[in-house]
Amino acid sequence: MSSAPSSPPAPRQTPVFAPQALYEQVAERLRQEIFARELQPGSWIDELRLAQAWGISRTPLREALKVLATEGLVTMKLRRGAYVTEMSQQDVAEVYHLLSVLESDAAAEVAIKATDDQLAALNQLHQQLELAIAERTQFFALNEAFHMQVLEVAGNRWRTQIVTDLRKVMKLNRHLSLFKQGRLAESLDEHRRLMQALLARDAQAAQQLVREHFHNGLAATV
């Protein structure tokens, strides 16, 4: 009695997900051009010109613009296309208020529950910030890294996601705050006192200092 023929090997399937979709790459490039002021706040985004310059179709570009619109970096106007978001003073005040509430809450939690190793890592990051006062680009990067590390230690991924999106929008206005004369030195001193409160595990002081930090940052934009 002959044995039944063996089944042919199953065909190898092509991975469903690419490492990164094209529209995500386009979105990131647009973000960087917006943050670098290559695309100015209030300016119209010429989809046809960008698609031709980057050698892509308009489909991934439009998908990328939708992503940036949900982040608040781009404003879609009916029958007029996409524009880089222009922040009003009211917009700035509302963003700073939310960041103040969310990040001050996180700082208080860090003062209470962070491990000694986590506080040491935060302090090391702060020391790098101290050394970067003369280099604005590096100072901005380390400043944001410190704030995001506080959020990571505090936990709560929903808070972190909201703050991440708000901080993207805040970059549209950054030249109006930390670029003000003397503001970098003031910001560094505020970070220094916050770090001292965290190391002392003083939750109330840490919370208040973060609120003052954002209050002073907002005042510098006026």
The contacts of residue 162 (CB under 8 Å, 6+ apart) are: 98, 102
When the candidates are 3.40.1440.60, 3.40.1280.10, 1.10.2020.10, 1.10.10.10, the CATH number that belongs to 22-84 is 1.10.10.10
pLDDT of residue 5: 52
The contacts of residue 34 (CB under 8 Å, 6+ apart) are: 68, 73, 74, 84, 171, 172
Number of alpha carbons in the 13 Å side-chain half-sphere of residue 182: 3
Q: What is the CATH number of domain 89-219?
A: 1.20.120.530
**pLDDT single digits (tens) 74-132:** 999 988 999 999 888 899 999 999 999 999 999 999 999 999 999 999 999 999 999 99
Distance from the first to the final alpha carbon of the chain? 92
**Domain boundary assignment for the chain:** 22-84, 89-219
pLDDT of residue 177: 56
Question: Contact, 95 vs 170, CB < 8 A?
Answer: yes
- Please name the helix (run of DSSP H) or strand (run of DSSP E) that holds residue 175, with its range, or none: none
CA angle in degrees (0–180, nearest 5) for 131-124-205:
100
* Cα 71 to Cα 92: distance, rounded to the nearest angstrom: 15
pLDDT over 90 percentage in the chain: 67
Q: Which amino acid is at 131?
A: L
pLDDT over 70 percentage in the chain: 87
**pLDDT single digits (tens) 147-168:** 999 999 999 999 999 999 999 8
Task: Tell me the pTM.
Answer: 0.78
Tokens 């940052």 sit at which residue? 217
What is the residue-averaged pLDDT of the chain?
Answer: 88
Band (pLDDT 50/70/90 cuts) for residue 16 is very low
The contacts of residue 71 (CB under 8 Å, 6+ apart) are: 165, 168, 169
